[in-house]
Amino acid sequence: DTGVSQNPRHKITKRGQNVTFRCDPISEHNRLYWYRQTLGQGPEFLTYFQNEAQLEKSRLLSDRFSAERPKGSFSTLEIQRTEQGDSAMYLCASSLVPLAGVTNEKLFFGSGTQLSVL
């Protein structure tokens, strides 16, 4: 168990540029979540995948945001035409959920990608 890995740890970009973050979950985990966290706040849900299927997206996820999880392994989160309001910590988490179950057991978080949009 090597834990959830996120890259890069920090990203500084200029407004209007595109950025892409990567998340490698714990290998046997079938669920993968993206959250966004701003200073002094708790994580806010963005989207989640069950294997390779993206099953829910928050209204926070505008058309400029897209997430993928090809082959149900790693995931990428892309932000196009970044805005200063996108500056935040982007957190990835994974979990193992029984196929027949609907409850969420504990999440394993990565260390996050801190995005600064200048």
Partner 1 sequence: SQQGEEDPQALSIQEGENATMNCSYKTSINNLQWYRQNSGRGLVHLILIRSNEREKHSGRLRVTLDTSKKSSSLLITASRAADTASYFCATDAWYGNKLVFGAGTILRVKS
Distances in Å between the Cα of 96 and the Cα atoms of 27, 35, 89 are: 10, 17, 24
Task: Supply the minimum distance, in Å, between the C-beta of residue 16 and partner 1.
Answer: 27
Task: Supply the minimum distance, in Å, between the C-beta of residue 34 and partner 1.
Answer: 10
Task: Supply the minimum distance, in Å, between the C-beta of residue 4 and partner 1.
Answer: 7
Toward partner 1, which CB reaches closer, 79 or 93? 93
Toward partner 1, which CB reaches closer, 18 or 104? 104
Scored b (16 or more CB within 10 A) or e, 58-95 reads: eeebeeebebebeeeebbebebeebeeebbbbbbbbbb
Toward partner 1, which CB reaches closer, 54 or 80? 54
Toward partner 1, which CB reaches closer, 21 or 110? 110
Which amino acid would we find at residue 93?
A
| Residue that is written with structure tokens 């959830």 in the block | 4
Q: Under the rule (CB under 8 A), what is the footprint of partner 1?
A: 4, 6, 33, 35, 40-45, 48, 55-56, 91, 93, 102-112, 114
* Paired strand residues for 14: none
